[in-house]
Structure 1
Amino acid sequence: MAAPFFMVVVESAVMNSSNMPQGDQHAARALGLKVPVFRHLRDSLAQGEDPSWLQLSDPMLAGAFPSPLGFELLLDGLKAEAPVARRRANLLTSLAGKEMPEIEELVAAATDDGTLEDISIALQPANPPEGVETPEKEEHGKFLEALRGDMKVALVTRAVFRKHATIKIGLCEAKEDELRLFKQFAGQEYKLEAFPAQSYLAVRRGEHAHALQVEFVVPQAEIDAIFNSEVESPPQERDNYLELFRQFFQQERLPRFVQEARARLKRLAESSALEHAWNHAHLALDRGRQEGLIVGIAAQRSGKVQMVLLSADSIFMRGIVLNPKAEDFVEKVDAFIGEDRPLVAALQADSPTRNHGSKVLEHLRKSGKVRQVLVPVAVVRTLLREVARRLEESHLTHDERQALMLARLVHCPRAAALHTPHIVRAFVAGRSEVNHHRLDTFEIVFVQSLLAGRGVDVNVGTHDELKSVPGVDPTRVEVERSTAPFMSLADFQNRICLSEQEWRVAMCFLRCRVSEEPLDARALHPIYYQALRQLVEATEVVELEDVLKDPAKAQGLDWEELLKENGWSERVPSLVRRCLTRGGGRRPRMHANKGGRLEGLEIGGMLKGKVVRLSEIGAFLDVGLRTDGFVHVSQVADQFVKDPAEFLEVGQEVSARVLSVDLEKQRFRLSLRSGAESERKERGDGRGRGRGSGSGSKGGRGQREERKIPSHAVDSRPKSKPGGGGRRDDRDSNKREKIKLGKDPQADRWKEDIDPTNPFYQFFQEQEEVQKSQGDKA
């Protein structure tokens, strides 16, 4: 009979527990961080520090996370780990003094809230959900009560759901127009662990529109297998109790699992949608003022085309409505444009506008180059809804103003984003299904990213720019500088009187380009001024002016002693050099073709990728992220692998599991092994460490002491050929003197410590059997 499922679950958890990270190490490893970095982030946020300060200028991190969106995704993961850590701490507190080591090890090894919830059943049985009827027979009621308090059943059913659950998507009965958008999902069936998370928001939207029906299904055979291996029942009433167990799984366990799976898929889908929107919004909005005339083009519902002409100073010049099907369409376009030749055409990104606008562009390009810019419809609608009419626009019709908003957005996209930040979220696909708190944060982070690189001059910054700087009251700054300009950032602080935390985050964005302090015009935070001057004075060779001309000299200064004294990160010199460079400190532009960010990875998650390179130590997979994932040779297959090329080839598509992520070094490791085997290998099993083959309820796994092979057994070891293993030459083995060996005094001890699944152990066992068979023949 196969081993019970619970033994597999417990064995994996207990094997990992001795080497499993404890306390903060759980969350740090799940987030791809080092423990000191994780603790610093957690404590700083608890003290109310602004994330912008931590990401841009904190000397403990020193620009370790250059991507603002990636850092925000990391903070989302940090917040998600907080309740898991609290539940784990509460469980360990409840277990104190109860002498339940196996459960304590399971708690220590658990990595998610669902598993901790199942373990807590051992202390307090779960309550039946509302609406579940009590069986008529008393024995059946006791059976269900026992199941609600059975930790084994809870853990095994969750493990089976995660591994074998299937998502089935079907169409509901509705009007053809309502179903048209969701027909692509009809009839689709996915394994839960392989479901494309980026599609979940569209599926969820289909559910809310009553167009799609999503069902989570676990094979009946898997449920029955759990009952046969983990549940005790009277043999004569097996069928009745099996039916009760099926009902228990469907009514009490499955809804919990589905809720957990939906929450996970939604979180991953939101992160994917925000990342995709960030790339598009940066390309569209992170642009300065457009010189020259701009023509705005928008199609009307009547089939006609509304055109407006905007001057280089963003002033409405004139507008016209044209019929693109009219014979004199081209002549009217020429009459409208006249001698004013536009350099840019702003088109609303809908089909009618693109079709009619192409005719206008084709004609305009005959007399010169005209650049086309497509603006999403949602962005235009947001502008119409939230931007108030100016006095000079009071006579414009709705269609004229719509075309005017298009032209003004293209005239200066960055100013439009600062004035109307809500247009940023218009780039998020399926935003109606995204958590509104995440949308708000996404909007704030994006707007601040537009300011961080270029900075905001305290003397000439606009109201929209100042209001986007954290901790700054724009009206107060405008009133204060109207009396006299700020002479430096120190003068700004003396007159505005920001709190310590407000000052730290505001100085990440503010500049003073006419300052008495030359460093105020650069992106360097004032906390580094004194340290930089101290190091420059200590050299007696380099002057501050030299460092400002050539910022690379700042990184060449002797920072070592100062970093140790202040406890700063070793990355501070590199951060200072980047910030002193003109235009430095600018956040890197996120192009869509660079792939996704590592911050969105989930430990244990499944990814589909393609093998792009093979080496002796492993393989590299392209999974659509900014860097390729690495699969160590020990993670290529469940059995021993000498050369990855024997199992993989370049271009092969595979499914891999995420083992670990290192955000600071921007790399991650994958595994192609099955789940349990992958965990064993990742923890170091198979390298001379392992559990004993006995019952071992203690579950510990320690490092085995090195033992010397007895001298009388040295000559019996099979000799391998250079470069690897291989059978001995039969001729050499026949010539060698056969030595009769006595029993190894430590043989029994080795049997207890050696893992029989270790590939090296299996290799030498095979060699020993070959040698023994040759001796018998002789």
Structure 2
Amino acid sequence: MENNILVIAGELNVRPQQVEATVKLLDEGATVPFISRYRKEATGSLDEVAVAAVRDRMTQLRELDKRRESILKSIEEQGKLTDELKKKIEAADTMAVLEDIYLPYKPKRKTRASVAKEKGLEPLAETLFNQEDVSLEELAKPFLDEEKGVKTVEEALAGARDIIAEKVNEDQEARKAVRHLFEKQGTFSAKVIPGKEEEGAKYKDYFEWSEPIEKAPSHRILAMRRAEKEMIISLDCTPEEEEAIYRLEDQFVQGHSEAAQQVKLAVRDSYKRLMKPSLETEIRINSKKRADEEAIHVFAENLRQLLLSAPLGQKNVLAIDPAYRTGCKTVVLDKQGKLLYNTVIYPLDRVAQATATVKDLCKRYDIEAIAIGNGTASRETERFVRGLNLAEIQVIVVNESGASVYSASEVAREEFPDYDVTVRGAVSIGRRLMDPLAELVKIDPKSIGVGQYQHDVDQTLLKNGLDDVVVSCVNKVGVEVNTASKELLTYVSGLGATIAKNIVNYRNENGPFKSRTELKKVARLGPKAFEQSAGFLRVRGSKNPLDQSAVHPESYTIVQQMAKDLNCTVQDLMDKQELRAQIDLKKYVTDTVGLPTLTDILQELAKPGRDPREQFETFEFADDVNEMEDLKIGMKLPGIVTNITNFGAFVDIGVHQDGLVHVSELSDDFVDDPNEVVKVQQQVEVTVLEVDIRRKRISLSMKTGKPSQRKAKRKQEPQREAEKSMDDMLAMLKAKFK
């Protein structure tokens, strides 16, 4: 434990005391948001990212320790554990090193080497391995034994070579050297399987492709693996074979004697038959893990930006889910998102009737905003609504990705058991305009449409990574306990599905919560759960104004003492900056509460419970651009960033097909990470570079120069990289607009 703390402290460049305190809190059941927000004194103000890094790394190191104990026990039971071997095992700092040490002692099924040993050929192998200049025939003759199946000198030598090959493969230093070669000089080499050219046309860029494993970006690794899985290409992940064999020969072969030549043959066999397949499997696993981590990071960052996108707020909303044949499902939601009314309008072929219906609903329900889903018939519906000239009513096109998934989910059925999927989908569109976070937490993040190869990555790692993001966002914004759904409450620090459900049940049976303290009456919401969750739950209308803030109940006495010292009320402190300016925070420092927490308290008093998300801004697509056919090279258009990948950003410009702004076109300056330039849901202006209607591809730019100049400056390799990525993203985009 102590060693692990030192390792993590060194890796994260923090003090061991910070790591130790964080691990202790985590082991006691504290959540990442709670620790980073309310335990700054203990952790030295580690933020969420650092706390999560401590948690994840400690989990890895504990798994390593667990495996170490298992290996020590296994070797000890074999009676082969020496003090020197034990020290080597205890010093192993990675799973790969640990497994290399264990390999010679690992129980095996029957191998060619074990069969040769059963034939009594191990002494011959040892003699050959010493590579003395002696006659091979004279060496081998004593080991001939027809009963054991060794009839000839060559059979004896072959068996001895099998033993040497296994010995070379199990040599820790040899594996370390060749592993390094795989990592630094290994190459992905892809070739199309004959006859699969037409079937795998979308992977044509990988029909004859090679690149260093070390430098291959995650999206290409995942694309090649997918093509291999679909049996379109064959894929090798190895260094140059002769270089690997040369390095092994350099370590094991001594001189040019006949025995040395036998060792040389054994080394070549060892690499091809044993070491190469083993290390290729390992490098595949490691490169896949790296690709997964990068893809999940991209997905998580996109999801964070989407969840924290600006909410319209509590407004009476008319939500429309556009369609051609079946009409546009239309619903009315009140300021709390409650469904008041639903109907179907046909604005494309029953214009007069649709006009009358929309105007009547707007007047009858005092509609303040109209939300229109961005799927099929979106632009036509938007044009119809804007043509009604509904003064003072905002008209907003809403990204509806995942709405269909929600509408068919158990959550939606539970919320609206008496309505069909079309009504539920329209409700989701309206609610995600009012509060994206509150609505999107009801949908599996994989279905929201902001991922990169999400179906190809490790699903457990993906779920854990995305759950972390949702928890972080929910607790960053805070949750109004009297209006929050069960799904939203589930992500509050310390709660979970069961307690969230109990909170809703209590609210339904007893009416709105009047204070944070009343939460303690909820079934199974004990002292620990209250400690973890209370600071993130808001109770608007509570007699105690601090219940509406992010000040934790454990700090209420501090604020009350501040108010008492200034001869005012807590509400006065929250309302008047001149009073807060008189507070000397050092006066309130204790053994457990320091300046970090006191500073947070003072900042929260200045803006109690304020939503940290940006203010909502209206957006309109270009009026005269509705389909890809309307696009012309050089056009400048407004757009909304819908997805960000390692190779660029996808932007919705209102033509039912997102365009790609390649990373090389995001800025006039060099861009390493697209997230440095754009965010999901950001409003941008783009210039059309290329339009390929047949392949449904749109290339865009955010640079400020002229299109011809930009195209001349583009590098071939980044553009080729974008081409490779487009096909794989099309499936996601098609699903988005389905």
What TM-score range do you get, normalising by the shorter chain? 0.5 to 0.7
Work out whether 1:246 is the aligned partner of 2:271: yes
Over 3 Å counting, the alpha-carbon distance change for 1:193 and 1:521 in structure 2 is same
Contact 2:477 2:611 in 1 (8 A): yes
Corresponding letter in the other structure for 1:34: R
Corresponding letter in the other structure for 2:607: R
Contact 2:562 2:583 in 1 (8 A): yes
2: CA distance, partners of 1:214 / 1:59: 49
Q: Which one of the candidate residues 168, 179, 183 is aligned to 1:162? A: 183
Residue deviations 1:109-130 (CA, integer Å, cap 9, x gap) = x653223433455xx5456688
Task: Give TM-score, length-normalised by structure 1.
Answer: 0.60
Corresponding letter in the other structure for 2:23: R
Alignment of 1:398-547 (within 5 A): 402-403=425-426, 405-407=428-430, 409-410=432-433, 412-417=435-440, 420-422=442-444, 425-429=447-451, 430-441=453-464, 444-449=467-472, 451-453=474-476, 455-457=478-480, 465-469=488-492, 470-471=494-495, 472-475=499-502, 478-479=505-506, 482-483=509-510, 488-493=515-520, 498-534=525-561, 544=570, 547=573
Corresponding letter in the other structure for 1:47: E
Deviation of residue 278 (structure 1)?
2.5
1:57 corresponds in structure 2 to 38
3-state SS of the aligned residue for 1:228? Answer: helix
3-state SS of the aligned residue for 1:194? Answer: coil
1:237 corresponds in structure 2 to 262
3-state SS of the aligned residue for 2:181? Answer: helix
Contact 1:281 1:427 in 2 (8 A): no
3-state SS of the aligned residue for 1:154? Answer: helix
Residue deviations 1:573-626 (CA, integer Å, cap 9, x gap) = 2322333332557556799899999xxxxxxxxxx999x9xxxxxxx9955566
Deviation of residue 178 (structure 1)?
5.9
2:166 corresponds in structure 1 to 145
Contact 2:574 2:608 in 1 (8 A): no
1:382 corresponds in structure 2 to 406
Contact 1:306 1:403 in 2 (8 A): no
Corresponding letter in the other structure for 2:454: R
Deviation of residue 433 (structure 1)?
3.0
Corresponding letter in the other structure for 1:41: T
Over 3 Å counting, the alpha-carbon distance change for 1:560 and 1:362 in structure 2 is closer
Q: Which one of the candidate residues 282, 298, 301 is aligned to 2:323? A: 298
3-state SS of the aligned residue for 1:49? Answer: coil
2: CA distance, partners of 1:87 / 1:415: 42
Deviation of residue 477 (structure 1)?
6.5
Deviation of residue 379 (structure 1)?
3.4
Work out whether 1:113 is the aligned partner of 2:135: no
Q: Which one of the candidate residues 565, 569, 575 is aligned to 2:600? A: 575
Over 3 Å counting, the alpha-carbon distance change for 1:170 and 1:155 in structure 2 is same
3-state SS of the aligned residue for 1:316? Answer: strand
Work out whether 1:79 is the aligned partner of 2:59: yes
1:268 corresponds in structure 2 to 294
Residue deviations 1:51-101 (CA, integer Å, cap 9, x gap) = 33223322445794655x786566444433432455578889999996659
Residue deviations 1:203-242 (CA, integer Å, cap 9, x gap) = 4444444445432121123202312322236333365234
3-state SS of the aligned residue for 1:298? Answer: coil
2:146 corresponds in structure 1 to none
Contact 1:166 1:216 in 2 (8 A): yes
Corresponding letter in the other structure for 2:32: P
User: Relative contact order (C-alpha < 8 Å, sep 6+): which is higher?
Assistant: 1
Over 3 Å counting, the alpha-carbon distance change for 1:241 and 1:482 in structure 2 is closer
1: CA distance, partners of 2:4 / 2:416: 63
Alignment of 1:126-145 (within 5 A): 137-145=158-166
2: CA distance, partners of 1:388 / 1:491: 29
Q: What are the ranges of 5 or more consecutive residues in structure 1 without an aligned counterpart?
A: 1-20, 598-607, 613-619, 628-650, 654-778
Residue deviations 1:680-714 (CA, integer Å, cap 9, x gap) = xxxxxxxxxxxxxxxxxxxxxxxxxxxxxxxxxxx
Work out whether 1:26 is the aligned partner of 2:48: no
1: CA distance, partners of 2:414 / 2:200: 42
3-state SS of the aligned residue for 2:557? Answer: helix
Task: Give TM-score, length-normalised by structure 2.
Answer: 0.63
Corresponding letter in the other structure for 2:38: S
Contact 1:459 1:481 in 2 (8 A): no
1: CA distance, partners of 2:414 / 2:517: 38
Over 3 Å counting, the alpha-carbon distance change for 1:97 and 1:409 in structure 2 is closer
Over 3 Å counting, the alpha-carbon distance change for 1:491 and 1:289 in structure 2 is closer
Corresponding letter in the other structure for 1:506: S
Over 3 Å counting, the alpha-carbon distance change for 1:43 and 1:473 in structure 2 is same
Residue deviations 1:331-370 (CA, integer Å, cap 9, x gap) = 67546645556875655545x4356546546745798875
Q: Which one of the candidate residues 14, 24, 31 is aligned to 1:43? A: 24
2: CA distance, partners of 1:115 / 1:408: 52
Contact 1:293 1:312 in 2 (8 A): yes
Contact 1:308 1:404 in 2 (8 A): no
Contact 1:167 1:192 in 2 (8 A): yes
2:575 corresponds in structure 1 to 549
2: CA distance, partners of 1:199 / 1:127: 37
2:735 corresponds in structure 1 to none
2: CA distance, partners of 1:217 / 1:36: 43
1: CA distance, partners of 2:392 / 2:512: 45
Contact 1:459 1:486 in 2 (8 A): yes
Contact 2:321 2:372 in 1 (8 A): yes
1:678 corresponds in structure 2 to none
1: CA distance, partners of 2:550 / 2:536: 8
Over 3 Å counting, the alpha-carbon distance change for 1:576 and 1:171 in structure 2 is farther
2: CA distance, partners of 1:180 / 1:280: 33
Contact 1:293 1:311 in 2 (8 A): yes
Corresponding letter in the other structure for 1:475: N
3-state SS of the aligned residue for 2:402? Answer: helix
2:304 corresponds in structure 1 to 278
2: CA distance, partners of 1:273 / 1:480: 35
Alignment of 1:599-618 (within 5 A): none
3-state SS of the aligned residue for 2:236? Answer: strand
Name the % identity: 16
Over 3 Å counting, the alpha-carbon distance change for 1:172 and 1:48 in structure 2 is farther
Contact 2:4 2:61 in 1 (8 A): no
Contact 2:182 2:279 in 1 (8 A): no
2: CA distance, partners of 1:376 / 1:485: 31
2: CA distance, partners of 1:37 / 1:87: 26
Residue deviations 1:122-170 (CA, integer Å, cap 9, x gap) = xx54566888786752321221232243111021111111111112344
3-state SS of the aligned residue for 1:310? Answer: strand
Over 3 Å counting, the alpha-carbon distance change for 1:577 and 1:363 in structure 2 is same
RMSD: 5.0
Over 3 Å counting, the alpha-carbon distance change for 1:589 and 1:62 in structure 2 is farther
Corresponding letter in the other structure for 2:22: L
Over 3 Å counting, the alpha-carbon distance change for 1:62 and 1:100 in structure 2 is closer
